[in-house]
Structure 1
Amino acid sequence: MIDHVRDLATLQEATDRLLTAVAKLDNGSLAEPSRLPGWTRGHILAHLSRNADALVNVFEGRPMYVSGDARDSDIERDSGRPLQEQLADLRHSAAGFAAVADRPADWSRTVELRNGVTDSAARVPFRRLVEVELHHVDLGIGYELEDLPAEFTAREIDFLADRWSGRPEVPSAELIASDGGTWRTGTAGEPQVTVRGTSAQLLGWLAGRADKGDSLTTSGGPLPVLPPL
């Protein structure tokens, strides 16, 4: 069961961890490439700030973004700012999200995200946590998939495995983590492929990160090709 209160507390811890790490950078390092193609570290930080604002919109019943183009242009506009401006924006936008989430509300209500996607309000804090944790890794500043809290990794694998379930273009697969945990994804029926690796490696494959599954081992067939996130 989703516990939004606990997720909000965990999100604050992850945000503090991110801010502490980013504060050790300098202006030059923000202009360097991140691990996301076409994005500098500054792009990632700008995205995280604007995403917090967008989730405030979600909570308040407004469109998450005015449009996809507006989202992209806002990130591009803010990507080149110096470190202190990026840090101030990260703190301010995160505080704004936390303040809205602290208001009395019906957490069982349905909210609308991007592209018509809907979810319960109670799941939004975890969605924000995913943004903070995975993009912290994407910065390439020493925080790796292996450093993610084990509970977070298992929950995100749960989410992504479910996302790729029932998709005819994804072969049925059983995912087995050497450090504990088993998942199913792909089409219904008996798994055609068994995929083995650590939880971090499985998450990297499902989320299109790290080596994208090259370190995993399979039996019964090749590693399934996943659609883009």
Structure 2
Amino acid sequence: MIDHARDLLSLDETTERLIAAVTELDNAAVAEPSRLPGWSRGHVLAHIAHNADALGNVLAGLPMYESAEARDADIERDATRAAAVQLDDVRDSAARFRSRAALPADWSRTVTLRNGVTDSAARIPFRRWVEVALHYVDLDIGYELHDLPAEFTERQIDFLRQRFSADPAVAEVTGPPVALLGWLSGRSDGSGLKAPGDTLPVLPPL
């Protein structure tokens, strides 16, 4: 059973750790490339902030984003902001999400995310934790996949295996959890993993 309250606490811990790390970045560091192709650290930070508000919208029963185009435009617009502005937005948007999640609610209800995807409201705190944790890694500022809690890693592996369940070969890939998470999340080439026929299946875009 999903424990949204426990996930919110885990999210708080990772968010606080992220904010402390971002505090150390200056304008030049924010403008440097992240590990995501075509994105600077500023792009990643803008996305982290906007995603908090987007998932708050989901909990409120509103559209996650105005549109895909608006989402992308907002990230592009805010990617070049100064480090202090990025930090304030990450911190303030996280607080807004936490306030929304603290309101009395039916956590068993079904909510709608992007592209018509639906999920239980109770899973939204974990989805937010995923966004913060994996994009913290993407910032390339000293937080790595192996620093993630083991529980997080196992749960996200299970989630991504289910997401790619249309290809049974994905379920047959084995290896160390950190390597599996890296491959399934598009953050590694799958080195150290084993698959039938010694060929890893091609994963669809996330």
Scaled to the shorter chain, the TM-score interval is over 0.9
Cα distance in 2 for residues equivalent to 1:162 and 1:74: 30
Q: Is the 8 A contact 1:43 1:79 kept in 2?
A: yes
More RCO (CA 8 Å, sep 6+) = 2
Structure 2 match to 1:218: 195
Q: Percent identity?
A: 64
Structure 1 match to 2:174: 196
Where do 5+ consecutive residues of structure 1 fail to align? 174-184, 186-193
Amino acid at match of 1:11: L
Q: Deviations over 1:158-216 (max 9, x none)?
A: 10011111x1xx3424xxxxxxxxxxx2xxxxxxxx5332111000110000x321332
Cα drift, residue 217 of structure 1: 3.2
Amino acid at match of 2:90: L
What is the DSSP-based 3-state SS (H/G/I as helix, E as strand, rest coil) of the residue aligned with 1:65? Answer: coil
Higher percent of residues as strand = 1
Confirm whether residue 92 of structure 1 aligns to residue 92 of structure 2.
yes
Cα distance in 1 for residues equivalent to 2:181 and 2:89: 29
> Quick check: 111-120 or 195-204, which moved more?
195-204
Cα distance in 2 for residues equivalent to 1:228 and 1:128: 19
TM-score (norm 1): 0.87
Where do 5+ consecutive residues of structure 2 fail to align? none
List aligned pairs for 1:13-162, cutoff 5 A. Answer: 13-162=13-162
Cα distance in 2 for residues equivalent to 1:90 and 1:226: 31
Cα drift, residue 12 of structure 1: 0.3
Amino acid at match of 2:183: W
Q: Is the 8 A contact 2:176 2:192 kept in 1?
A: no
Higher percent of residues as helix = 2
What is the DSSP-based 3-state SS (H/G/I as helix, E as strand, rest coil) of the residue aligned with 1:196? Answer: coil
Distance 1:171 1:123, change over 3 A: closer
Cα drift, residue 61 of structure 1: 1.2
What is the DSSP-based 3-state SS (H/G/I as helix, E as strand, rest coil) of the residue aligned with 1:172? Answer: helix
Amino acid at match of 1:222: T
Cα distance in 2 for residues equivalent to 1:124 and 1:114: 13
Cα distance in 2 for residues equivalent to 1:216 and 1:49: 33
Q: Which runs of 4+ in 1 moved over 3 A?
A: 217-221
Amino acid at match of 2:204: P
Cα drift, residue 32 of structure 1: 0.6
Q: Deviations over 1:58-100 (max 9, x none)?
A: 1111110000000001001111111111111111100000001
Amino acid at match of 1:172: A
Q: Deviations over 1:125-158 (max 9, x none)?
A: 0000000000000001111111111000000001
What is the DSSP-based 3-state SS (H/G/I as helix, E as strand, rest coil) of the residue aligned with 1:80? Answer: coil
Structure 1 match to 2:169: 172
**Count of aligned pairs:** 206
